[in-house]
């Protein structure tokens, strides 16, 4: 196989292929090269049957029924797999919810006048307060914001047996009562994460079902807690997304401007970078060094946050972060937390690019560290932008920016969707009942170099919209489909006749971009509202979820809270649970009896679409529509 043929097998993205060819020519190692060097992967790890939770091991179990059948402590394959799965859920929940905690603290500091974060969406402020049972009459916006922030922070610290303020306020009644009857209502976010870490340590919980139940409980603390409050409070601080045009792919970089890429997950930083870059002072400084201006672009989920609120262009998703540097056009890549490859500083050494780390939680050897804090946000953001501007003069002549970028329409918050529908869900319900829209699917999650880059996201999406199924997306999945042109009005022509009619009437694409990974909570809120409007549970709805290219522990938490919320969820990458028949049975069969949702695994996106369509048809039949 030639080098070009090999590259064609790695991705469907032409700009990505272009940059991979350049990386190969220059001998620059990328994530795909490192994957190849790791292969074959450890079979025990892939099956989830290795354990290193104490130093009597590491232990592994023979997957074929031979010896060893138990770890040194006596743990079986079922116990080890369940413990490993639970720890992934705990890590994913911790990541999302720590993000949410930071937003809650920022809202509080902004309301107290300690940090330069004014309230951008006063209607959302009042809406969230009302849902939380906060009296708003006669109070200033700052007073209301303080109370909301304190209610959010209670969800991290409550020590009694009550449940989360946000879950109580947002979860549909039937689903809430089911969780209550099952004993899976989370007590507080941190407590459930600690509970998993405790019960999976040596000599504690070794019942696979018990471990999976705690995983469900912890995931609910993420989806209906940490992620949900992050989304809602970010809307208050930075504005609730409304439909806006943007551009996606590596072609958004501009050779004549200072290019700053913000990468990570926390808009508390990236919003300030955009503000600073747009200031007259910084624009003037950029022109003084010979640039025509400053071009801020996003990468991964902080890119999604800026894209859906402001139309700031997004340069790519997870697997494109290294390639952006290889263009030679990036003055600074500003990173905060999550999904940032440790390889970035090494690649940046081949160019003039500065990797600027900003979080006390995420240090990168070889990066410039400018620690960000909310109190001095404006000054620090200016320092970061100035550092990028001053680096423009060090840019080498060998700049190669792919020409391709795609226009997209994004910013479909729940509020924006309701607005497009005329203020209520009635039009959507009518379209579902009439069959013009058969159902809806949330496609979320990461990229994974084990899967052809963007292929599964795009092909699954095409198959679904072709069959009159509305698709909503977040995270790297949404960026993949933006790059493929599926978030444009032109994509309406790829939809089935029924969905096409609805999209034309509403002037929206058949694939709706809801935001970043924490904004999967918007999908939950939308599902809850739809279930309440129809007088059914979420598990009765003709809907499904999918994560075709997932790789992160955060995706495990997301998938688990979707299943726990009653949603059939299809994974395109095999999770590390196949070493336990019992855990597989719980995840793919028994969970449905317990919470109304279950997992399925299908690596072929066309076959995955068939599974989802069959599921939606069955749900429609049960609803009598």
Q: What is the pLDDT of residue 160?
A: 85
pLDDT tens-digit series, residues 433-445: 999 999 999 999 9
Which residues are CB-neighbours of 289 under 8 A, at least 6 positions away?
258, 389, 390, 392, 393
Q: Annotated binding site for [4Fe-4S] cluster: which residue ranges? A: 42, 50-51, 54, 59, 73
Task: Compute CA distances 224 → 63, 182, 242, 315, 597, whole Å.
Answer: 36, 16, 22, 30, 16
Q: Annotated binding site for [Ni-4Fe-4S] cluster: which residue ranges? A: 265, 301, 339, 446, 476, 517
Q: What is the pLDDT of residue 1?
A: 67
Residue 397 pLDDT greater than 90, yes or no: no
pLDDT tens-digit series, residues 564-623: 999 999 999 999 999 999 999 999 999 999 999 999 999 999 999 999 999 999 999 999
Residue 349 pLDDT greater than 70, yes or no: yes
Distance CA 335, CA 502 (A): 40
Class of residue 611 by CB neighbours under 10 A (exposed 0-12, middle 13-18, buried 19+): middle
Tell me the backbone φ, ψ of residue 266, rounded to 5 degrees. -110, 110
- Farthest-apart Cα atoms in the chain, separation: 72
Tell me which H or E stretch contains 412.
none
Q: What is the pLDDT of residue 3?
A: 78
The domains located in the chain, with CATH, are 77-238 (1.20.1270.30), 250-394 (3.40.50.2030), 413-623 (3.40.50.2030)
Distance CA 175, CA 595 (A): 9
Structure-block tokens of residue 494: 């790829």
The residue-averaged pLDDT of 456-477 equals 98
Helices (H) and strands (E) in the chain, counts: 28, 16
Q: Is the pTM of this model over 0.95?
A: yes
Tell me the backbone φ, ψ of residue 241, rounded to 5 degrees. -55, 140
Confidence of residue 114 (pLDDT cuts 50, 70, 90): very high
The residue-averaged pLDDT of 3-29 equals 95
pLDDT tens-digit series, residues 33-72: 999 999 999 999 999 999 999 999 999 999 998 999 999 9
> Beta-carbon neighbour count of residue 311 at 10 Å?
17
Q: Annotated binding site: which residue ranges? A: 42, 50-51, 54, 59, 73, 265, 301, 339, 446, 476, 517
Confidence of residue 398 (pLDDT cuts 50, 70, 90): confident
Residue with tokens 């690596």: 603
Confidence of residue 186 (pLDDT cuts 50, 70, 90): very high
Distance of CA 573 to the CA centre of its chain: 16
Average pLDDT, whole number, for the chain? 97
Residue 382 pLDDT greater than 70, yes or no: yes
Residue 254 pLDDT greater than 90, yes or no: yes
Residue 161 pLDDT greater than 90, yes or no: no
Structure-block tokens of residue 165: 């303020």
Alpha-carbon torsion, ordered 316, 317, 323, 327, to 10 deg: 10
Report H helices in 435-540: 455-466, 475-483, 497-506, 520-534
Q: What is the pLDDT of residue 298?
A: 98
């Amino acid at each position: 196989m030639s080098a070009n043929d090999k590259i064609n097998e790695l991705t469907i993205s032409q700009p990505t292929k272009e940059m991979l060819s350049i990386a190969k020519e220059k001998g620059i190692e990328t994530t795909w090269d490192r994957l190849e060097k790791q292969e074959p992967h450890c079979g025990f790890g892939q099956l989830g049957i290795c354990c290193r939770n104490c130093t009597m091991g590491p232990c592994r179990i023979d997957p074929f029924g031979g010896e060893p059948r138990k770890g040194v402590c006596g743990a079986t394959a079922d116990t080890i797999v369940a413990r490993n799965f639970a720890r992934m859920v705990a890590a994913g929940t911790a990541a999302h919810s720590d993000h949410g905690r930071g937003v809650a603290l920022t809202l509080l500091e902004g309301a107290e006048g300690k940090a330069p974060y004014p309230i951008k969406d006063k209607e959302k402020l009042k809406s969230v307060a009302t849902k939380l049972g906060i009296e708003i009459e006669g109070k200033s916006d700052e007073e209301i914001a303080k109370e909301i922030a304190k209610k959010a922070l209670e969800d991290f610290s409550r020590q009694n047996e009550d449940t989360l303020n946000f879950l109580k306020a947002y979860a549909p009644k039937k689903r809430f009562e089911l969780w209550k009857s099952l004993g899976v209502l989370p007590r507080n976010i941190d407590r459930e994460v600690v509970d998993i870490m405790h019960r999976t340590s040596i000599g504690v919980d070794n019942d696979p079902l018990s471990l999976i139940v705690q995983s469900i409980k912890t995931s609910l603390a993420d989806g209906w807690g940490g992620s949900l409050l992050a989304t809602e409070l970010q809307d208050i601080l930075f504005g609730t997304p409304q439909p806006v045009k943007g551009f996606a792919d590596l072609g958004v970089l501009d050779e004549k401007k200072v290019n700053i890429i913000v990468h990570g997950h926390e808009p508390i930083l990236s919003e300030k970078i955009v503000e600073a870059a747009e200031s007259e002072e910084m624009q003037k400084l950029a022109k003084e060094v010979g640039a025509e201006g400053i071009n801020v672009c996003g990468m991964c989920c902080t890119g999604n946050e800026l894209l859906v609120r402001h139309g700031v262009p997004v340069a790519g998703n997870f697997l494109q972060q290294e390639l952006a540097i290889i263009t030679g056009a990036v003055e600074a890549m500003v990173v905060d937390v999550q999904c940032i490859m440790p390889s970035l500083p090494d690649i940046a050494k081949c160019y003039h690019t500065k990797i600027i780390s900003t979080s006390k939680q995420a240090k990168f050897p070889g990066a410039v560290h400018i620690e960000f804090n909310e109190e001095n946000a404006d000054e620090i953001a200016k320092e970061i932008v100035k550092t990028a501007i001053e680096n423009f003069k060090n840019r080498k002549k060998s700049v190669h920016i792919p020409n391709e970028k795609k226009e997209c329409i994004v910013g479909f918050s729940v509020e924006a969707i309701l607005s497009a529908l005329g203020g209520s869900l009635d039009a959507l319900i009518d379209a579902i009942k009439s069959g013009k829209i058969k159902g809806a699917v949330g496609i979320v999650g990461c990229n994974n170099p084990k899967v052809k880059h963007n292929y599964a996201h795009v092909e699954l999406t095409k198959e679904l919209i072709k069959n009159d199924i509305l698709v909503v997306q977040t995270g790297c999945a949404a960026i993949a489909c933006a790059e493929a042109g599926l978030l444009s009005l032109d994509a309406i022509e790829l939809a089935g006749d029924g969905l096409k009619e609805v999209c034309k009437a509403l002037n929206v694409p058949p694939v709706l971009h809801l935001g970043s990974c924490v904004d999967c909570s918007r999908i939950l809120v939308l599902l809850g509202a739809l279930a309440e409007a129809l007088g059914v549970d979420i598990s009765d709805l003709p809907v499904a979820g999918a994560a075709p290219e997932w790789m992160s522990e955060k995706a495990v938490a997301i998938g688990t809270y979707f299943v726990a919320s009653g949603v059939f969820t299809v994974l395109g990458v095999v999770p590390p649970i196949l070493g336990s028949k019992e855990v597989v049975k719980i995840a793919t069969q028994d969970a449905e009896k317990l919470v109304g949702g279950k997992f399925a695994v299908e690596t072929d996106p066309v076959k995955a679409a068939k599974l989802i369509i069959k599921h939606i048809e069955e749900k429609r039949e049960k609803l009598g529509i």
